[in-house]
Amino acid sequence: MRTVDWQNNAVRLIDQRVLPGRFEVIDYTDYRELAKAITEMVVRGAPAIGAAGAFGMALAAQQSAARGRDGLLNDLAQAKAVLDAARPTAINLSWATNRVMTLAGHLVLPNPDDIRSAVLAEAQKIADEDVEINRRMAMHGAALIADGDTVLHHCNTGALATVDYGTALGAIRMAHEQGKRVHVLVDETRPRLQGARLTAWELKQLGVPFDLIADNAAGHFMYTGQVQAVFVGADRVAANGDVANKIGTYKLAVVAKENSVPFYVVAPTSTVDPSVPDGTHIPIEERPMDEVLGLETHGERVAPEGITARNPAFDVTPNRYVTAIVTENGVVRPPYGEGLRRAVRNV
């Protein structure tokens, strides 16, 4: 099934908090509850969050009691503010809600039910496009993987991070489906362990050979020549090619550069934010400290009681460490400014 879907007038999500131990789905009929689910990472991954936000706008349209166009648009604007605030770093969220809001605002339809139908259709279109875009990106990304390569992957960028198929993990999946012998080193990706819990689970389902490694082991494998490429996704790409992605990405990029290992970012053009000149302008979400302090091993708490922690969810990788950015419209290489603009315009 799709990670994000619309069924029976509800948004259906795979609950990523309980994988790999259990596979559960949750239906949402209230956009506020859906926004909470985005914050709590029931759904995560920039493209999946974007689709969820679009469907959240469809829920808001359903929930609105407005009998006229202006009232419905006002309710949609309020819902957009709530949804956008759920995860501030991932630009796909506001990109998707903007797209739905812009469509609704341009419709000259006096019957609000017609607007409600159009909003749902646009949200469904965004979700369907994501699957097609991911496959196009995967083709471009797979071309960068040679037969026999070992690829290092951080966080989760597979079908669970998108509506279906995946971004960086989609490229690895495509290479595997093409018959290439690809092996993956999977970072655990602390503190929420998306690599250990989600990427490992997906690769196991796909039959792609992999080994799980501690985050701090990545440098060793690159230094000893056991990695041919690093593949990661992105939550926002600045106009100059700086990349915001899951915390720990910057460290990997620096070590990859030091060891002459190509560092590839795979992201749809909806993740490119032309309004942000460079990475210093990207807001970095800081999540609750209990995600760090609540870690247990063998049933015992790791950190002492009564201490504090810092928990940034993302970091920024300057463009000088990025070998190429893979989009659905092709592979963009430095200098990134004009190349990203052309990719976004699809020219």
Cα separation, 101 vs 122, whole angstroms: 10
Exactly one of 235, 242, 273, 315 is catalytic; which is it?
235
Token representation of residue 151: 């690829």
Active-site residue flag, 15: no
E strand segments, 34-101: none
Name which of 281, 268, 262, 251 is nearest 330 in CA terms.
Answer: 268
Cα separation, 49 vs 277, whole angstroms: 23
Token representation of residue 152: 């290092």
Contact 89, 281 (CB under 8 A): no
Amino acid, single-letter form, for residue 178: Q
Residue in this structure with the two tokens 């760090």, named with its chain if needed: 292
Q: Residues near 270 by Cβ (< 8 Å), separated by ≥ 6?
A: 47, 50, 91, 92, 95, 96
Token representation of residue 140: 């471009």
Question: Annotated catalytic sites, by residue?
Answer: 235
